[in-house]
Amino acid sequence: MSAVVPGEISAAPHSGAMTARLAYRRSRIWRERTIEGVLFLAAMVSVFTTVGIVYVLVKESVVFFQTVPLRDFLTDTQWTPLFDDAHFGVMVLLSGTLTSSVVALAIAIPLGTIIAIYLSEFAPFAVREVAKPFLELLGGVPTIVYGYFALLFVTPILQWFYPELPGFNLLSAGIVMGIMIIPYVSSISEDAMRAVPMSLREGSYAMGATRFQTATRVVVPAAFSGIASAYILGISRAVGETMILAVAAGQQPNLTLNPLEPAATITAYIVQVALGDLPHGSIGYQTIFAAGLTLMLFTLACNIGGHMLRKTFREAY
Amino acid sequence: MEHVRDLGQIRALIASHKRRDAVFACVGVVALMIGVLTFAALFADMALKGVPRLDWDFFTSYPSRRAGQAGILTAWVGSCLVMLTTAAVAVPLGVAAGLYLEEYAPRNWVTDIIEINITNLAGVPSIIYGLLALGLFVYQFGFGQSILSAGLTLALLILPVVIVATRESIRAIPQGIREGAYALGGTQWQVCRDHILPYSSAGILTGVIIGMARAIGETAPVITIGALTFIAFLPPAPVKAEPPFVSFEWLMSPFTVMPIQMFNWTSRPEAAFLVNAAAAGFILVLMTLAMNGLAIWLRYRLRKKIKW
């Protein structure tokens, strides 16, 4: 950048050495600019990625919605895109996604919040030092392994309590998904709680409050905007999770809100279609982009909602 | 709060509040234990079912219709090649982007857009990246259902992880180091190349390892671009006997990866294939654990060793 390179203009006569130095400086400036340009392009890759995602999803979906009216897509109660009598009711897939996400969040949000409060306000230093990396490991296990675990370990245990439970069901997939999401919720919530200034806690303790009272009435409200973003991340993880559901929840489209039944989700449907050999440009091929667009809009809505929530509850110190 | 006068009542109140403290501490430990126990159960389940299946042949056999003869040769070779491509794309791009945002970027709306994008991309479901790759890499660019397409997809997927790690470790370098280098006449790039990058390299490495651990277990996007689930040949070897000795034919080859092989075995009804799935899963868990563990250890060492 120009601020770094000293001024080029010199009053001295242009001797040979001088010209050489000027040329060197010019080449140096040129090289600096080029490097900055290359680095800028690398940073722009993230913007290109977003543009690419929107372009691909919208382009294929537009073709799809020329064949299937948007009204049918939103209101039909059947999802049979590959049959002769094709129906495209995305509600069917959304119900699976919604049910499994609710089960997962019913586990991840309470447990994640409790762990975050415990680690931030109660746990001794040594426990925190061990627990944090361990939770990271829990979040690092491949989801296909969790899927196997849900299908062949958790489902048999659940069937032991409730024998009528089918082999594929949303419940066990949701439970395992919830445990997978705990680290995402707990680590971001904990960071938010630890960012609450010590003076607030000291003030609370000075008033005679216990740890629990300080945690629930001072720290959690003060950190709520951060905790909300942890929840939002958890929701988008749950909605976008694929392999656990594709393995353990079955791939039958099923309009249900009952977690004890098998049902396909948006993501499981995309995997199912991708595994088959659909020709490029067929209606079946386009449905996965329409399904993907629905998923994308759903996550986007979550993110915008979360952003607004954060703004409303933001506490400034 | 109710008005309390008598000392006994106050003592009882304090005792009950202290009890609530203790109860919550227990609840916290229990919640933590649910995570620990699940992980222990998962690991033990994989190990008990899978380890007896692990032998030399398992690593050197092609997939087969007979569970007893099936192996993961094509899967682990595919995983290695895809990871190689991913790292070759994600590391330079991620480090360059992080460097730009920390050292070069002016405060303006373009930079804001880039930063918002990176944050948002980190929350996009991985299967959406698969759709992006299917529409763009596979068909638009004509890369086909190849190792190149998969490597690029996973590179885009882990890019935010690498960028964030790069930025954090660059931010930790004190300003005095930059000022010292500029005072000696260094240009911005010289400062970055000779000071910023070397000092932040360990932190960047941590981020890269975590990103790669994520990429190696990713299944959904790779299935979406159309990786095969049953493949009985290896990609062309990257090294050749005759000049120029290296070949990039493998980039365009069809492939499968470890998680897809495991998915394929998991979705079969025969019990013998489920044992194979457990064995493959055990290797996957072990690999991601080792990589995450390495990253955690590196970060721990960094925190202890580096004193500016």
Phi/psi of residue A255, nearest 5 degrees: -80, 95
B2 domain residue, yes or no: no
Residues B38 and B58 in one domain: no
- The residue whose two tokens read 């070069």 is B104
Inter-chain touch A39–B267, beta carbons under 8 Å: no
Helix residue ranges, H only, chain A:
16-67, 70-75, 90-117, 125-140, 143-149, 155-161, 170-194, 198-206, 211-214, 220-222, 224-240, 243-248, 266-275, 283-313
Q: Smallest CA–CA separation between A280 and chain B, in Å?
A: 8
Q: Any residues with CB less than 8 A from the CB of A162 and at least 6 apart, and which? A: A260
B84 burial level (CB within 10 Å; 0-12, 13-18, 19+): middle
List the single residue in A with minimal CA-CA distance to B261.
A144
From A187-201, B189-203, B237-251, the region with the lowest mean pLDDT: B237-251
Nearest by CB to residue B288, choosing from A44, A47, A141, is: A141
Residues B139 and B92 in one domain: yes
Burial B227-244 (b: 16+ CB within 10 A, else e): bbeebeeebeeeeeeeee
Residues B43 and B147 in one domain: no
Nearest by CB to residue A274, choosing from B135, B213, B226, is: B226
List the single residue in B with minimal CA-CA distance to A183.
B35
Quote the CA–CA distance of A85 and A76 in Å, as a whole number.
Answer: 13
Residues B125 and B203 in one domain: yes
Residues B48 and B75 in one domain: no
Strand partners, A123: none
Q: State the pLDDT at residue B160.
A: 93
ipTM: 0.87
List the single residue in A with minimal CA-CA distance to B263.
A144
Residues B80 and B48 in one domain: no
* Number of domains into which chain B is organized: 2
pLDDT tens, residue by residue, A6-34: 544 544 555 778 888 888 888 888 999 99
Question: What pTM does this model have?
Answer: 0.87
pLDDT tens, residue by residue, A142-197: 999 999 999 989 999 999 998 888 889 999 999 999 999 999 999 999 999 999 99
Asked if the bond preceding B244 is cis, omega within 30° of 0, the reply is yes
Q: Smallest CA–CA separation between B5 and chain A, in Å?
A: 16
User: Does pLDDT of B56 surpass 90?
Assistant: no
B1 domain residue, yes or no: no
Task: Residue B120: list chain A partners with CB under 8 A.
Answer: 50, 303
Q: State the pLDDT at residue A99.
A: 92
Rounded mean pLDDT of chain B?
86
Inter-chain touch B289–A137, beta carbons under 8 Å: yes
Dihedral angle at the C-alpha atoms of A194, A195, A199, A201, nearest 10 degrees?
-40
Task: Residue A40: list chain B partners with CB under 8 A.
Answer: 100, 104
Residues B158 and B195 in one domain: yes
Question: To the nearest whole percent, how much of chain B has pLDDT over 90?
Answer: 35
Q: Residue B289's closest CA among B95, B124, B46?
A: B46
Nearest by CB to residue B121, choosing from A28, A35, A50, is: A50
Residues B18 and B94 in one domain: no
Task: Residue B155: list chain A partners with CB under 8 A.
Answer: none
Quote the CA–CA distance of B29 and B11 in Å, as a whole number.
Answer: 27
Residues B23 and B89 in one domain: no
Residues B42 and B68 in one domain: no
The parts of chain A modelled with pLDDT lower than 50 are 1-5, 7-8, 10-11
User: What residue ranges do the domains of chain A occupy?
Assistant: 16-67, 90-313
Strand partners, B246: B239
Residues B100 and B174 in one domain: yes
Residues B165 and B242 in one domain: yes
Q: State the pLDDT at residue B166.
A: 94
Structural domain including B266 reads 54-305
Average pLDDT, integer, range B28-35: 91
Q: Smallest CA–CA separation between A84 and chain B, in Å?
A: 24
Q: State the pLDDT at residue A1.
A: 42
Q: Is B7 left (phi over 0), alpha (psi -120 to 50) or beta?
A: alpha
Phi/psi of residue B39, nearest 5 degrees: -65, -40
Phi/psi of residue B119, nearest 5 degrees: -60, -45
Q: State the pLDDT at residue A2.
A: 42
B33 domain residue, yes or no: yes
Inter-chain touch B31–A32, beta carbons under 8 Å: no
List the single residue in B with minimal CA-CA distance to A122.
B25
User: Does pLDDT of B226 surpass 90?
Assistant: no
Inter-chain touch A122–B35, beta carbons under 8 Å: no
Q: State the pLDDT at residue A315.
A: 67
* Torsion B250-B252-B258-B264 (CA) sign: negative
CA angle B31, B33, B38 (to 5 degrees): 105
For the A90-313 domain, the top CATH level (class) is: mainly alpha
